[in-house]
Amino acid sequence: GQPVTEFSEPILIRIPLGDIGDADRELLSVAKIVDGKFIFYGGRVEGDAIVEARDTFSSYVVVENKVVFSDTETVRSWAGRQIEVMAAKGAIEGKAEGVFAPHDNVTRAEFAKMLVKALDLDNVKATESFDDVKATDWFAPYVAAAVQNGIIQGRSSAAFDPLATITRAEMATMIARALQAKYNLNGS
């Protein structure tokens, strides 16, 4: 009996595309305007619509989001397209305007965001209780959603260590847990 605009379990929105002309279907993204700029949420094209899981009601628009990084030439042959698509969907942003830094290390907070955004596990109602994650930190909602979904744990019960470089072993563990959370897949 009460109006609801935020959900702990995402709802699936489907936006008809109409005629998209020669737009690159992989670079289409659901977005909304916040403080005069686009916030990209991703989405996948299914037939004549784009589908995206969202944890809030809002006014959304579909845009072709072409993100260009000036420093990805050395990885273009094996990762260029994937970087462009993930950036178009808002799962990665790079280190600065037009700078991806493909050879930089990835932090625990950055990887938590990548997984949460890529697998539509956002949850505005998720919370965490780490002493080193403040509610105002850019990564706080992603860490909270990752913790709630069992994807990541802290270094201890009080410390998440968000700026620490993530290891390949931690990435593999988080990916396995994320696939379990999203698709109920297990390693057997």
- The model's pLDDT over 37-89, given as tens digits with 9 standing for 90+, comes to 999 999 999 999 999 988 888 889 999 999 999 999 999 999 999 999 999 99
Summarised one tens digit per residue, pLDDT across range 108-120 is: 999 999 999 888 8
> Does the pLDDT value for residue 187 go beyond 70?
no
At 5, is the pLDDT very low, low, confident or very high (cuts 50, 70, 90)? confident
The pLDDT > 90 percentage for the chain reads 66
The dihedrals phi and psi of 96, each to the nearest 5 degrees, come to -160, 175
Q: Minimum mean pLDDT among 24-28, 100-104, 108-112, 181-185: which range?
A: 181-185
Residues in the chain, total: 188
- Which long-range contacts does 33-41 make (Cβ < 8 Å, 24+ apart)? 33/61, 38/63, 38/65, 39/90, 40/65, 40/88, 40/89, 40/90, 41/89, 41/90, 41/117, 41/122
The average confidence (pLDDT) of the chain is: 91
First to last CA, the chain: 43
The pLDDT > 70 percentage for the chain reads 98
Place of tokens 């935020």: 6
Beta strands in the chain (DSSP E): 6-16, 28-34, 37-42, 44-46, 49-56, 61-64
Residue 188: its pLDDT value, please?
52
